[in-house]
Structure 1
Amino acid sequence: MSFWHNNWSYIMAKYIQSLALLRNCLFVGLLLTLLIDSEKASAQFQELKSEKVTPVTFTADIFQSGGSPLKKFIALTFQNEKKWHTYWKNPGDAGIPLSFEFFSNEEKIDLKALEWPYPKRFIEKGDMLAYGYDDRYTFFFPLNDDTIKKLKGKNLTIKSKWLVCKDICIPGQDVFKGRFDNNLNLTKNSKKVSISQGALNEAFLGLPKKIPFPKNLVLNLHKKKNSNELYLAYYFKQKAGGSSSLEVPRNNNILTPFPQSPFDFHKEEVISKDQATQIKMKVQWDGEYMEPPVDFPKNSVFEKPYLLRFLYHNAKGPVGIVEKSFSGFLPSSEDLKPEKKVALNKSSEKTEKNITSPYASAKSKKTQDLTNVVKPKKENLLLTFFFALLGGFILNFMPCVFPVISLKLFSLLKQKEMSQLSIMKHNAVYSFGILFSFLVLSFIVLILKSSGEQVGWGFHLQSPSFLSIMILFLFVLSLNLFGLYEIRTPGGKVIGNIDIDNSYRSDFISGVLATILSTPCSAPFLEVALTFAFTSSFPVTLLIFLSVGLGLSLPFLFVGIFPSMLKLLPKPGTWMEHFKKFLGLSLLLTSLWLFDVFQTIVTGPMSSTILILTLILTFFAFYSLKHMKLNKIGNLILILIPFLSVLYLVGIQLNNSKDINSSSTAVQKTANHPSNWEVWAPEKMNYYKKEGKAVFVDFTAKWCFTCIVNEKLVLQTKEFAKLMKDRSIKPLIADWTKRDPIIGNWLKEQGVFGLPAYFIQTSEGKLIHLGETISIKEIKNHL
């Protein structure tokens, strides 16, 4: 005890000295660590500043692809030092994509690259996601004839900028200089990177190609609960008798999104729940940072559809670019019933090396999955022709063609005194005008189908240029019937004295006009024939169209063969002068209807204002020609002003046609429908299908007369509203007044090529096509 008492002070002093020594050692060790790290970073930075070591270098070559015709490209090949990476178009959470500028003798030229090479996925410090390139990679810029002329015998300068990262990130840039001779051979001023033509060809073949969207991939855009945060949710449905697993590439996402404002995409996250695997990707809405700002949609529907593009990777299947258009988003998917989904496995290096590239297959066939659609049985060809003939005949009694048919009947009244041969000739020419118009329509359908465009019954009324010409033409005819001027009109008469002129030209024009105005209407039996026409070969399409035309002209052919039928018409008299005014009013109302369609299709008030001004100038021109005595030059000026005005209007519409065609009208609710109707979208149908709720869908358009009639007689009635409420059916409206790829493609998948179109999706998910005419009783029977 005395030992501890006498030596306690000594022991404590030694202990304190030991702690101080340990503290000093730890401090020195920490200081050395920091010095080493800072020395490494400093050395790395100094290495980058020195001209001896550059983490990124690039060169340019001329590359010529195989095939016919031969195409030439400027190929930019980049080489990164080991473990350094640059960034793709969508750099990820941080980073800056590579950029390129081209100059020919200091004159800047605009070259657009083909699809960039496949990027890799990098996880940087701080768990930051990045998409980019390491090692060697090549970009290809196609050269057209005009660009080649600018480059021959000229100096070529290429400036490229990038952000390159390893342990630190630094911005970089380099300049390539060379010269082309007159044969487009490129002489380089320096050779920092070398690559063979064989390696360039391999890189060219390896560029991403567009592939069909995978049939078993389900991809939806959702909104998070109580938040404006969006996320993509996707999974793979298990095929019957197929494999229950899908291998995920080791260094890539399954879906790598291309940049698309106003969306900011984040990392893929694999979520497993109740033996079901789903992948989610957070999507941030950046619309408020755009100029002008784009507000977050409050009604789950975007102002216009967004086409999202992805690099699709499947370690056991094809890789390539897939696309899907989104017109809106769905509620949170957390409460949806789980489906049987494919399990996701990580791929091995061996499997990933065997990925099938999209360019390995020469062709891909487009298929349509219509197994869940209840449709009429496929008719034989003769019965289809009969339906086309009968549908064309019924078109004579539809409101679309009433003004023109009335004009033709008006002319028939004056043909009573003609010989049977003259009556037959006039009606035959009228019928030839109809058949010729349908012949032209069939060739237009062939051209559009060959170019991949959407086609359908009445599709020409989605063109503002065509509408503006038709409005002006009908307006001029109405002025003629009101007696403002005298010309030969369809039917072969002179307005003012009702004299008949044997003008076959006027009969032909009347037939053409009847065809044009008949296409917005549908008729019983016509839809079956048109569906067969739009999905068949060109000879069948041509015969069906001619059958419809023959049906439309059938009443007048009968009159030509049996002229005694004219005795059923009233005798000519003074009443015909009043009937002229009525016909003029009907044409004027038709012009107003088409003008309403025109206003819906065009963007902004300028086109409508120009069209109104053109109509006013046209009226003034004809009024002046009748009531003012001017010389030939004055009359010519009066005629040229409205003519040039309509040409200017058509030019504006042709210039704006790309914007019009890319916009969506599915997101607009027509004023004719009550507020309880929701805007249609494919995602909404899928959502209600999973919720087990029935849906009624109305595909309509302002140019569709039959649609308007059905709305008045059925869809806007109290009985229909009560049926929707009692059966808890969700009514959806899709307006196809404008050309809309989402609506057009969906209808095409269901085998529908004209309006109106009505569908019921039952609570079990079965899709039923109701046809072009509907009734409350029919809807109840299907429910």
Structure 2
Amino acid sequence: MTLPLLSLAARARRLLLASLGGLALCLPLAAPAQNLAALMKGAPAAGVFQSEQTRAELLAHAPEGAGAGRTIWLGLRLDHAPHWHTYWKNPGDSGLATELRWTLPEGVSAGDIDWPTPRKFPIGTLANYGYDGTVVLPVPLTVSDNFRGEAVDVRLDASWLVCRKECIPEEASFTLRLPTSGTTGGHGELFAAMRDARPRDLKAGASLVAPDDGFLRVALDGLPADWRGRELEFFPELGGVIEPGAAWTQAWDGARWTARVPLSPQRFDSPTAMDLVVAPAQPAGEGPGETGARLAAVPVQGTWPAPAPLPTAGVPDALQAALDANAARSAAASAPSTPPASSLTLGAALIGALIGGLILNLMPCVFPVLAIKVTGFAKHGGDTRAHRAHGLAYTAGVVLSFLALGGLLLSLRAAGEQLGWGFQLQSPAVVAALATLFTLIGLNLAGLFEFGNVLPSGVASLQARHPTADAFLTGVLATAVASPCTAPFMGASLGLAIALPAPQALLIFGVLGLGMALPYLLASWVPAVARALPRPGPWMERFKQFMAFPMFATVVWLLWVLGQQSGIDGAAALLMLLVVLALAIWSLGLRGKGRVVLGGLSLAALLALAVGIGPNVLRLQDGEANTAATATGVAGLAWEPWSPQRQAELLAQGRPVFVDFTAAWCVTCQYNKRTTLADERVLGDVAGKNVALLRADWTRRDPAVTQALAALGRNGVPVYAIHKNGQPVQVLTEVLSVEEVRTALAAL
């Protein structure tokens, strides 16, 4: 006699309760203060940030308090270790400007950084603009007249790139509470020094610039009289216009300063006016440069020439230049005509989201969840009303889950996090939670335990009283396992969503969920679908047991993902915790003394293991662990780890670059990696065209990868991009075919 088959969706809901209990033993004891944002954040909120390269601190200067109607000054102080520097608003040939993102109470607004005059850092034939030593980046805060709070609570999320020969992105969060009365800060001399270092505003007057045959002719009037006869440095605020490190000529004609500066061959802007900073040239030193002069909106006379393609021959000091390159510069240098995400209309994005959501149902890890719905059809037989109610509930679960994920993603990005689609599986805690849930589902389906034996009768009977809730939670579960990957047609839609206002972005996420739920929703309203399925019977018990194996296969995949994040120790620790958790669940289903003795011992063992080895599950392994090249089977051809520096170096050598943006938790990525990207014909074409292969691994949070994806108008993986100097970037489809890749390579 077979046991009646409970709804598999009900099992998922009840197992969710059980898994939360298991996770309460396995994970929070190991890291009670960690949350999702903290796990993905580069530096926790603190008063002072300290690394081997920089010390950062948020300073305030409010001599009369932060009361209504006042302007107060805040500043990010950066103390650089010897030979390290950060960047000005235009970083020069490479680099990335420091970014400050403020969270302020209503009635308080922050201005722009009042940038001190930068220094010039020559690097071979190139040059950067920025600061070393100690610098404060001051920002004015304006308190409105109607502000009535007792204090101004300030949060700053700052990110900067610090470079020597290598470059390291850093970020930190700071908080300050500024009372509305009384003196705050006490850093008046430091802020005064930085204001003195700010370039003085001068009127453009008769000054002008004019492009001319590969050069920019500059003629400036009204500069300080004591500068006459001295050599000056020239800092355009718009990047990518000139060659900062190239040799150039300058001269004084009375009070008029003239210069002939080489234009950048990779210039992408043709402004009609330019904002410029000039300052006396000075020897190497620390801190800001000598106080300069800023001329706003200097008119451009004449017509800009067309930009020239990059040379394909090797350039001097290419390696030195590449070591100091960054993601923003390399993406721009290699993609002059990359279409921005905003080129896609909202209507087209919604259609792409709908189709992409439909294709998500084909993801292998979603099959077990969809099988739950097939069983649900069979269980209800010809009950059309029940089918339709469950179809609507499942759709609501999927759509609301996508909206919740999208809202969380948008909120974290607004708070300064560099995240993209699938961000939840960049957290080992989320991966471990899903592995625990699917393990318990598999054990239940295999018959190891029944809910009535381990849960109170009131909890165990919830499904009978609320069947539509089971369908809703099945939709939540399906979203959890399907969302990390980017299906065809989804990439551009998600890239646009991140740049749109929140209501329109959430609309795209909602349509994506609707697309995923649509097949089951339509089937639930078509009676012929239910009639085509076998009637309830003994086959359902066998089918239930069979479905345990896809669940366990999903657990294997999640453990592999965790191994990429936390290393073999983390994966082994979770596997041991799951084994003991399974023992505890089984023992709670026993009767008599066996339940008490064995159940108590297994729970005690679970607790001890959680304390002893649980931290290994949440601990991200050293980022240097994945820096080895991966052989392809073709002599001399291997996949190298991607970095903006390595991409820039290869492009400077004249080589095309194929970048695979991937993640261990992306099933589509792994499929493409083992099929099309391993095809002998594709690899032969890659070798024949001397294409360099780079793999950008997004399994763990990596702001550089996030920025590179954003430059391509994408916000999730997989993404495949082919870069070549002088050509627009080719962005391939999410599910690669051999023919598509070979055609793209042939066009190089």
CA-to-partner distance for each residue in 1:493-537, whole Å, 9 max, x for gaps?
xxx9xx988522322221101001111332222223222212211
| Residue ranges of structure 1 left out of the alignment (5+ in a row) | 1-60, 76-87, 94-113, 122-129, 141-182, 187-194, 221-234, 259-309, 319-330, 340-366, 490-495
CA-to-partner distance for each residue in 1:534-557, whole Å, 9 max, x for gaps?
221111111111111111111221
- Within a 5 Å distance, the mapping from 1:628-643 to structure 2 comes to 628-630=591-593, 642=606
Specify the SS of the correspondent of 1:751.
coil
Counterpart residue identity of residue 664, structure 2 = K
Structure with greater Cα Rg: 1
Q: Does 1:423 pair with 2:387?
A: yes
On the 8 A contact 1:760/1:767 being kept in 2, the answer is yes
Tell me: CA distance 1:241–1:516, structure 2 relative to 1, closer, same or farther (3 Å): closer
On the 8 A contact 1:488/1:506 being kept in 2, the answer is no
Aligned position for 2:470? 506
How far did residue 457 of structure 1 move? 1.9
Work out which of the residue numbers 400, 407, 416 in structure 2 matches 1:436: 400
Aligned position for 1:471? 435
Aligned position for 2:580? 617
- Within a 5 Å distance, the mapping from 1:302-451 to structure 2 comes to 334=316, 371-373=336-338, 378-417=343-382, 419-451=383-415
Aligned position for 2:192? 202
Aligned position for 1:288? none
Aligned position for 2:264? 237
Tell me: CA distance 1:247–1:452, structure 2 relative to 1, closer, same or farther (3 Å): closer
In structure 2, how many angstroms separate the alpha carbons of the residues matched to 1:91 and 1:690?
A: 28
In structure 2, how many angstroms separate the alpha carbons of the residues matched to 1:640 and 1:538?
A: 47
How far did residue 250 of structure 1 move? 3.7
Counterpart residue identity of residue 483, structure 1 = G
In structure 2, how many angstroms separate the alpha carbons of the residues matched to 1:773 and 1:595?
A: 24
Q: How many residues are aligned here?
A: 515
Counterpart residue identity of residue 425, structure 1 = A
On the 8 A contact 1:375/1:769 being kept in 2, the answer is no
How far did residue 620 of structure 1 move? 0.9
In structure 1, how many angstroms separate the alpha carbons of the residues matched to 2:692 and 2:480?
A: 35
TM-score scaled by structure 1?
0.55
How far did residue 707 of structure 1 move? 1.0
Tell me: CA distance 1:589–1:653, structure 2 relative to 1, closer, same or farther (3 Å): closer
Specify the SS of the correspondent of 1:733.
strand
In structure 2, how many angstroms separate the alpha carbons of the residues matched to 1:384 and 1:720?
A: 31
- Within a 5 Å distance, the mapping from 1:49-88 to structure 2 comes to 63=63, 66=66
Aligned position for 2:496? 532
Work out which of the residue numbers 672, 676, 695 in structure 2 matches 1:733: 695
Counterpart residue identity of residue 536, structure 1 = L
Tell me: CA distance 1:572–1:592, structure 2 relative to 1, closer, same or farther (3 Å): same
Specify the SS of the correspondent of 1:747.
helix
How far did residue 740 of structure 1 move? 1.0
How far did residue 567 of structure 1 move? 2.0
In structure 2, how many angstroms separate the alpha carbons of the residues matched to 1:484 and 1:671?
A: 43
Aligned position for 2:704? 742
- Within a 5 Å distance, the mapping from 1:163-178 to structure 2 comes to none
Tell me: CA distance 1:527–1:332, structure 2 relative to 1, closer, same or farther (3 Å): closer
- Greater shift, 719-728 or 702-711, is seen at 719-728
CA-to-partner distance for each residue in 1:233-259, whole Å, 9 max, x for gaps?
xx9837657999998744656x9789x
How far did residue 472 of structure 1 move? 0.7
Aligned position for 1:696? 658
In structure 2, how many angstroms separate the alpha carbons of the residues matched to 1:368 and 1:67?
A: 44
Q: Does 1:567 pair with 2:531?
A: yes
Tell me: CA distance 1:724–1:618, structure 2 relative to 1, closer, same or farther (3 Å): same
Aligned position for 2:36? none
Q: Does 1:459 pair with 2:423?
A: yes
Counterpart residue identity of residue 426, structure 1 = H
Specify the SS of the correspondent of 1:772.
coil
Tell me: CA distance 1:252–1:503, structure 2 relative to 1, closer, same or farther (3 Å): farther
On the 8 A contact 1:665/1:740 being kept in 2, the answer is no
Tell me: CA distance 1:723–1:425, structure 2 relative to 1, closer, same or farther (3 Å): same
How far did residue 420 of structure 1 move? 1.5
In structure 2, how many angstroms separate the alpha carbons of the residues matched to 1:649 and 1:699?
A: 32
Counterpart residue identity of residue 202, structure 1 = A
On the 8 A contact 1:389/1:551 being kept in 2, the answer is yes
Q: Does 1:776 pair with 2:734?
A: no
Specify the SS of the correspondent of 2:343.
coil
Counterpart residue identity of residue 688, structure 2 = D
On the 8 A contact 2:365/2:482 being kept in 1, the answer is yes
On the 8 A contact 2:574/2:614 being kept in 1, the answer is no
CA RMSD of aligned residues (A): 5.2
Tell me: CA distance 1:117–1:335, structure 2 relative to 1, closer, same or farther (3 Å): closer
Counterpart residue identity of residue 481, structure 1 = L
TM-score scaled by structure 2?
0.58
In structure 2, how many angstroms separate the alpha carbons of the residues matched to 1:563 and 1:747?
A: 44
Tell me: CA distance 1:377–1:200, structure 2 relative to 1, closer, same or farther (3 Å): closer
On the 8 A contact 2:721/2:729 being kept in 1, the answer is yes
In structure 1, how many angstroms separate the alpha carbons of the residues matched to 2:571 and 2:471?
A: 32
Specify the SS of the correspondent of 2:419.
coil
In structure 1, how many angstroms separate the alpha carbons of the residues matched to 2:630 and 2:375?
A: 37
Specify the SS of the correspondent of 1:677.
strand
Counterpart residue identity of residue 711, structure 2 = E
Specify the SS of the correspondent of 2:675.
helix
Tell me: CA distance 1:540–1:647, structure 2 relative to 1, closer, same or farther (3 Å): farther
Counterpart residue identity of residue 584, structure 1 = A
Tell me: CA distance 1:461–1:208, structure 2 relative to 1, closer, same or farther (3 Å): farther
In structure 1, how many angstroms separate the alpha carbons of the residues matched to 2:187 and 2:355?
A: 67
Specify the SS of the correspondent of 1:627.
coil
Counterpart residue identity of residue 237, structure 1 = S
Counterpart residue identity of residue 677, structure 2 = L
Tell me: CA distance 1:700–1:212, structure 2 relative to 1, closer, same or farther (3 Å): farther
On the 8 A contact 1:669/1:735 being kept in 2, the answer is no
How far did residue 69 of structure 1 move? 11
Work out which of the residue numbers 542, 559, 572 in structure 2 matches 1:595: 559
How far did residue 585 of structure 1 move? 0.9
Specify the SS of the correspondent of 2:732.
strand
